[in-house]
Amino acid sequence: MIPGMPEAETVRAEMLERWERAAGGWGRRAEDVREMGMPVSVWMIEHIAPQPGQVLLELAAGPGDTGFMAAELIAPGGELISSDAADEMLSVARRRAAELGIANVEFKRLELEWIDLEAASVDSVLCRWGVMLTLDPAAALREMRRVLRPGGRAALAVWDSSEHNPWATIPTRALVELGHAEPPDPSAPGMFALSDADRLRELLGDAGFSDVLVDAVDVARNYESIEGFLAEILDLSQAFGEVHRGLSDMARQEVASRVAALAEPWTVDGGRVRLPGRSLVAAAQA
Ligand SMILES: C[S@@+](CC[C@H](N)C(=O)[O-])C[C@H]1O[C@@H](n2cnc3c(N)ncnc32)[C@H](O)[C@@H]1O
């Protein structure tokens, strides 16, 4: 608890602080995340069908790639608002936009649960792997609908359940099995908090969206070695990194061996690893 702050606000502040700290690693891994998320981003962009001149909002944009992919489709005359709650993530996205030569973009610090934009002020919304991280996803979806003009479209992605995502669960499982971490609380905000497609559909309907479509898209990660896999997870998962950094060299070795054992079913000749993953994707109309 942060003294004087209500509990929910304390939790929000702590989660945000983690994302601020995670931004460096996400910046380093931006190309890997772009590659992994490409089929998801393509699905999302197809389902909002961006048009020249439109205002497009990306929420929880992180390094910003999904919005950047759509930015050329709204030119000429259109503008992308690339947003995130973490200032450090916005810095990563600004740098990436400059590298990619994206000019029709404005960066804004926005919270998913209370989007600081006028009602009916954007034509479409994108949000890849963000909504399930909030304390109140229903509020985030209501806010998404509020800022959309009537008839505007939203496309979002959340993670499918843990059994479809060994790339994300193996490192945590290794820590838990070796007694370095508690099993994650499935009811807490996090990667798998919205992995039930029916609940996602219902939340979108309750937020006032129509024409709701929920589907699944496979993603896969290829690694040259278990060491490469672990290095990426250390960059992307603040939770894993915090525990891992506190371990002795010997304990880290044990973690690496346990990760290798758990990844064995997906390990091919030469030690390369191809780990499957699956994202839920949803599209809806305001
Ligand atoms: C898993 S990353 C996804 C980043 C990016 N959308 C992607 O697909 O690569 C989650 C992002 O959500 C942001 N985020 C977390 N909680 C948020 C909130 N309540 N409001 C807005 N952004 C948030 C984090 O800072 C982070 O950039």
Domain of 22, CATH number, reads: 3.40.50.150
What backbone phi and psi angles, to 5 degrees, belong to 57?
-110, 125
> What pLDDT band is residue 2 in, cutting at 50, 70 and 90?
low
pLDDT digits (tens, 9 = 90+) for 23-62: 999 999 999 999 999 999 999 999 999 999 999 999 999 9
Could you tell me the distance, in angstroms and rounded to a whole number, from the CA of residue 278 to the centre of ligand 1?
18
Name every residue whose Cβ is closer than 8 Å to that of residue 5 and which is 6 or more positions away in sequence.
13
Contact indicator for 61, 125 with CB cutoff of 8 Å: no
Q: What Å distances lie between residue 166 and 141, 172, 220, 259, 280, CA to CA?
A: 28, 10, 10, 11, 15
Pairwise CA distance, residues 26 & 243, whole Å: 18
Q: Which residue's CA lies nearest to atom 6 of ligand 1?
A: 61
Checking if the pLDDT of 1 tops 90, the result is no
Residue 257 lies in a domain: no
Residues 279, 282, 286, CA angle at the centre, nearest 5°? 160
Q: Tokens for 95? A: 């740098």
> What pLDDT band is residue 270 in, cutting at 50, 70 and 90?
confident
Residue 166, amino acid: P
Residue 240 lies in a domain: no
Pinpoint the alpha helices (H) of 29-156: 30-48, 65-74, 87-100, 137-147
**Domain assignment of residue 155, given as a range:** 7-161+187-220+278-285
Q: How many domains does the chain have?
A: 1
Q: Which residues line ligand 1 (CB under 6 A)?
A: 19, 33, 37, 60-63, 84-86, 89, 111-113, 128-130, 133-134
Checking if the pLDDT of 189 tops 70, the result is yes
Residue 171 lies in a domain: no
Q: What Å distances lie between residue 35 and 17, 46, 61, 66, 277, CA to CA?
A: 26, 17, 15, 11, 13
Residue 260 lies in a domain: no
Alpha carbon 144 to its chain's center:
16
Could you tell me the distance, in angstroms and rounded to a whole number, from the CA of residue 88 to the centre of ligand 1?
11
The DSSP letter of residue 169 is H
The DSSP letter of residue 164 is G
- Helix 226-236 vs helix 7-28: angle between axes, to the nearest 10 degrees? 130
pLDDT digits (tens, 9 = 90+) for 126-165: 999 999 999 999 999 999 999 999 999 999 999 999 999 9
pLDDT confidence of residue 255: 97
In 3D space, the residue among 189, 218, 46, 219 whose CA is nearest the CA of residue 126 turns out to be: 46
- CB-neighbour burial class of residue 127 (10 A; exposed 0-12, middle 13-18, buried 19+): buried
As a whole number, mean pLDDT of residues 236-263 equals: 96
Q: Which residue's CA lies nearest to atom 27 of ligand 1?
A: 62
Residue 168 lies in a domain: no
Pairwise CA distance, residues 36 & 33, whole Å: 5
Name every residue whose Cβ is closer than 8 Å to that of residue 28 and which is 6 or more positions away in sequence.
235
Q: Which residue's CA lies nearest to atom 10 of ligand 1?
A: 130
pLDDT confidence of residue 185: 87
207: left (phi over 0), alpha (psi -120 to 50) or beta: alpha
Q: Which residue's CA lies nearest to atom 9 of ligand 1?
A: 62
Residue 248 lies in a domain: no
Could you tell me the distance, in angstroms and rounded to a whole number, from the CA of residue 61 to the centre of ligand 1?
6
Residue 266 lies in a domain: no
- 94, 133, 144, 233: residue to mutate for ligand 1 pocket, most atoms within 8 A of CB: 133
Checking if the pLDDT of 6 tops 80, the result is no
As a whole number, mean pLDDT of residues 213-217 equals: 98
Alpha carbon 282 to its chain's center:
14
Q: Tokens for 58? A: 């990306």
Residue 114 lies in a domain: yes
> What pLDDT band is residue 3 in, cutting at 50, 70 and 90?
low
**What's the pTM?**
0.96
Q: Tokens for 230? A: 């672990």
Could you tell me the distance, in angstroms and rounded to a whole number, from the CA of residue 267 to the centre of ligand 1?
30
